[in-house]
Amino acid sequence: MIPRSLATFSLALALLIAAVVPRAIAQGTDGDTRSVSGIVTNASGDPVPGAVVQLKDTKTLQIRSYVCQAGGKYHFAGLSTDVTYELRATFQGASSKTKRLSIFDSAKEPVIDLKLEK
C-alpha cells in the first residue's frame, strides 16, 4: 500500500506536469526562431517568379535555396534569432546585391525585398 503523503505528492506532481507540459509544447521554440520573406523584382520593378533566393547562415555557412512563387515571393521559416543571415537572388544571369538579416533585427517576420541587376 502507498503511504498517503506519497500518493498526495504523486497526484500534485501529475497535476503540475499536466498544467505545464502542454503550454511548453504549444510555445515550442517560437521565442528562438523567426522567418524572412520578400519579393524578387527585376530592374524594371516587375516580380520574377522562378528566381532563386539563397539564404546563407553566416555561422555554419549552410545555404538554403527557395524558388520564387507567383508574384516573385519567397519565404524562409525556422531561422535562429542568434544568427546573421545573408540573402541573394539570381535569375538567368542577373543577381541582386547581398542583403543581411542581422541578429540585431528584432522583427519576428522581417520583409527583405531583392532587386535583380544585370
Span 59-86, pLDDT tens digits: 999 999 999 999 999 999 999 999 999 9
Q: What is the pLDDT of residue 26?
A: 38
Within a domain: 94? yes
Within a domain: 27? no
Within a domain: 89? yes
Q: What is the pLDDT of residue 10?
A: 53
Contact predicate 56/86, CB 8 Å: yes
Tell me how far apart the alpha carbons of residues 50 and 71 are, in angstroms, rounded to a whole number: 10
Per-residue confidence band for 1, with pLDDT thresholds at 50, 70 and 90? low
Domain harbouring 42, CATH code:
2.60.40.1120
Domain count, the chain: 1
Within a domain: 98? yes
Within a domain: 103? yes
Among 31-40, 56-65, 89-98, where is mean pLDDT lowest? 31-40
Within a domain: 111? yes
Within a domain: 10? no
Contact predicate 74/40, CB 8 Å: yes
Q: Which domain holds residue 72?
A: 32-117
Within a domain: 25? no
